[in-house]
Amino acid sequence: MITVGCKIDEIRIDGNLHNLRNDLERYAALGMKGVEIPVHGVDAIKDGGLDRKRLAAVKEILQGFGFQYSVHSPNPLNLMDTADPHKHLAVFRASLEFAAAIGSRILVYHAGRFTPEETFGLPVIPTRDSEREKKLWAVERRMLRQMAHEFPRVVIGVENARPYLYHSPYCYGEKLDPLKRMVQEVDMPNVRLTLDVGHLNMAAQFYGFDLVRAAAEISNLLAHMHIHDNFGGTIYHSEKIQTHQIPFGRGDAHMPVGRGNVPFSTLLREILPSFSGMMIMELRSRYFGDLKESKTNLQQIIDSLTPPAETPGGSLMAQGLPS
């Protein structure tokens, strides 16, 4: 079964639980069935540990709604971090604790970065070191396996990354083949993939591969999806202003479905037969007033590809995911 939902934008709520409640009420009025909670957006993790008083306050709010929940771990979380790896592992564990506590079946984790985005602005020339990258790959694989053992009822959905001009390849997850290999090497039933279709559109144009074929080849490992639109153009990390990028079709725009050139119908035609899970629309706050349009467009595509007498995919159990 497919659950269409929307993320809570961590920048818009900025730790304010009153804003969280308001957004949830808005989503309920729009008929959303799923919501993705940014654990960092609700200030539930502080200095590597789960703030249990804050967790209780968040749970009280969430329990007042009938949504299915997923959780997004903090964006800077990087199991390949070398500056403070113990703190990153602690944040990862706290994110999983939070997900388990609110009843989420999915924790989204951005694939590890050999070169963290936070360092892009430093006055250094990025270089590739294959031996270093092999070691970091092994570290991430070990940590994912360890955390999957500790939290067997939460599915860790490793998310594909967007490319950047000048700094790519900075992350193995920019392409889906290495992402698939990481999950296969971890070899745990609760480590799967989160497919971000906007990131995929950018990577396909940047690297010159067929995004539909690439998505089809990882569909059997897919547990979760992020849905948003863009035109696929890659930018430098320093380009932040959407009004400057959109006229040129560049940037990770996070627009409503139908505003860009992501081939949703073709893509979902390949994925729907084997997918059961949440499709979370990840729209920027500038499109908060366009949620209904995006939901309607997405649902129409899903309905057009789903025969009335059938339901796409199966349960998480059918995919080999933990019940």
Give the pLDDT of residue 88: 98
CA distance 139 to 79: 7
Q: What contacts 308, CB < 8 A, 6 or more positions away?
A: none
Bridge partners, residue 157, by sequence: 108, 192
Bridge partners, residue 155, by sequence: 106
Give the pLDDT of residue 127: 81
CA distances from 64 to 30, 52, 97, 205, 323 (A): 16, 19, 20, 43, 24
Question: Is the Cβ–Cβ distance between 254 and 202 less than 8 Å?
Answer: no
Bridge partners, residue 222, by sequence: 193
For the chain, the residue count is: 323
Q: Cα torsion for 69, 192, 82, 94, to the nearest 10°?
A: 30
CA distances from 50 to 47, 86, 91, 146, 275 (A): 9, 15, 8, 19, 32
Prior bond to 169 cis, omega within 30?
A: yes
Query: Which stretches within the chain are classed as H helix?
Result: 10-13, 17-29, 52-62, 85-101, 130-150, 176-186, 197-207, 211-216, 242-245, 264-271, 291-305
Query: Tokens for 108?
Result: 């989204």
CA distance 94 to 312: 33
Q: In terms of Cα–Cα distance, which of 291, 266, 289 is closest to 280? A: 291
CATH number of the structural domain 2-305 = 3.20.20.150
- Number of separate helices (H) and strands (E) present in the chain: 11, 10
Give the pLDDT of residue 173: 98
Q: What is the pLDDT along the chain (323 residues), one digit of tens a residue?
A: 899 999 999 999 999 999 999 999 999 999 999 999 999 999 999 999 999 999 999 999 999 999 999 999 999 999 999 999 999 999 999 999 999 999 999 999 999 999 999 999 888 777 889 999 999 999 999 999 999 999 999 999 999 999 999 999 999 999 999 999 999 999 999 999 999 999 999 999 999 999 999 999 999 999 999 999 999 999 999 999 999 999 999 999 999 999 999 999 999 999 999 999 999 999 999 999 999 999 999 999 999 998 775 444 444 444 555 54
Which run of H or of E encompasses 217?
Answer: none
CA distances from 125 to 119, 128, 135, 206 (A): 11, 10, 21, 21
CA distances from 39 to 35, 69, 83, 92 (A): 12, 12, 22, 11
Q: What contacts 313, CB < 8 A, 6 or more positions away?
A: 1, 2, 272, 273, 274, 275, 276, 277, 319
CA distance 85 to 121: 21
Give the pLDDT of residue 315: 44
Phi-psi sector, 286: left (phi>0), alpha (psi -120 to 50), beta? alpha
Q: What contacts 122, CB < 8 A, 6 or more positions away?
A: none
CA distances from 150 to 93, 144, 154, 248 (A): 9, 10, 9, 46
DSSP-assigned letter for residue 255: B
